[in-house]
Structure 1
Amino acid sequence: MDIKVDDLTGSEVVELIREHLQSMTLHSPPESIHALDLDALRKPEITFWSVWEGDELVGCGALKELDGQHGEIKSMRTSSSHLRKGVAKRLLQHIMEEAKRRGYRRLSLETGSMDAFEPARRLYASFGFQNCKPFSDYIEDPNSVFMTKEL
């Protein structure tokens, strides 16, 4: 797997982000969707990676700097044709390594509380993320699960 910083202009990446946003609308009420669109993912405080096997896009994810010591995982997505192949695990390892390299002391995320998000919650828990209170600009929401990990 090749993980590279991506400028979000390639048609494969644009389609995967579209798929990600569409999936969020299927499983979450509009007021509880915190997924970022292409313009939001291009902000300077966000680093976005695409994951490739040869010339095939297999996943993506991003790291948002909240402050000099705290980062947030955003837009983790595995292509539907590559689920359960270790893509998310490898990308999460990569994002955690980058967060440590930057000197972050904490890495946090928001994901859904619905059954569709259970695989994601299990993945994060397997890496030592624990449930926490809302962070940054988030508020309590029964449709959200907040998780964090000290690095």
Structure 2
Amino acid sequence: MTSAPELTVIQVPVSDPRVEPLLRELGHEYSTRYGADAHDEIARYPDEEFTEPYGGLLLLLLERGEPVAGGAFRRYDAATAELKRIWTHSAHRRRGLARRVLAELERAARTRGYRRLWLTTGPRQPEARGLYLATGYTPLFDTEADPETIGPLPFEKHLAVREHTGRAADQ
């Protein structure tokens, strides 16, 4: 029996070369599902929006030094972070990595003071829709409607505020 490889979480700028496979495969996935070049969608926001102080850092999960999953967030408004570019390498899907990415993004956003997360996913990404529903995100659309009639599917999640317990560790 082999043990699962250890995953390492790192925060890097979009310019880090380890991000390139994420964006390349994500672009291919979008282009395949939606029939158009995804470059404009991926390049819609400047890289600086995913770095401090704007509130976003790209997170990657590394397995033996290779990126296998990741995501990013950016400031949406003073209380809200927008999740973007959530991805799992096609060879590493169905292992819970996307859930781990979400948990790490939620933790990082909470640390930065955000109290709400917002995101959209495309109507032809049922796996993403299912992930967000299964991890406590509230759909801001009619889940009974045909996703193709809605367009981008918006979700939100309110982050719990950690309460001060009065212990020395909280000081």
Fold shared per TM-score above 0.5: yes
Q: Residue 143 of structure 1 aligns with which residue?
A: 151
Q: Secondary structure at the match of 1:8?
A: coil
1:69/1:31 CA distance change after superposition, 3 Å: farther
% identity of equivalent residues = 26
TM-score, normalised relative to structure 1: 0.81
The one of 50, 68, 79 equivalent to 2:78 is 68
Q: Is the Cα–Cα contact under 8 Å of residues 30 and 38 in structure 2 kept in the other structure?
A: no
8 Å Cα contact 2:138/2:156 also seen in 1: yes
Match of 1:78 among 79, 83, 88: 88
Equivalent residue number for residue 136 of structure 1: none
* Corresponding position: 1:98 with 2:108: yes
CA distance in 2, matches of 1:143, 1:93: 26
CA contact (8 A) 1:35 1:74 kept: no
Count, aligned residues: 142
Residue 2 (str. 1) matches residue 8 (str. 2): yes
Greater strand share, structure number: 1
Which structure has more relative contact order (CA 8 Å, sep 6+)? It is: 1
What is the distance in 2 between the residues matched to 1:104 and 1:29?
35
What is the TM-score normalised by the length of structure 2? 0.72
Indicate the SS of the match to 1:91. Answer: helix
The residue type paired with residue 46 of structure 2 is A
Shift of residue 31, structure 1, vs aligned partner: 10
Query: Which residue identity does 1:78 align to in structure 2?
Result: T
Q: Does 1:55 align with 2:65?
A: yes
The CA deviation at 1:67 is 1.9
Q: Is the 8 Å Cα contact of residues 71 and 104 (structure 1) preserved in structure 2? A: yes
Question: What root-mean-square deviation, in Å, do the aligned CA atoms of Structure 1 and Structure 2 show?
Answer: 2.6
Gaps of 5+ in 2: 1-6, 142-148, 160-171
1:22–1:82 CA distance, 2 compared to 1 (3 A): same
The CA deviation string for residues 68-94 of structure 1, in whole angstroms up to 9 with x for no partner, is 200110000001111111111111001
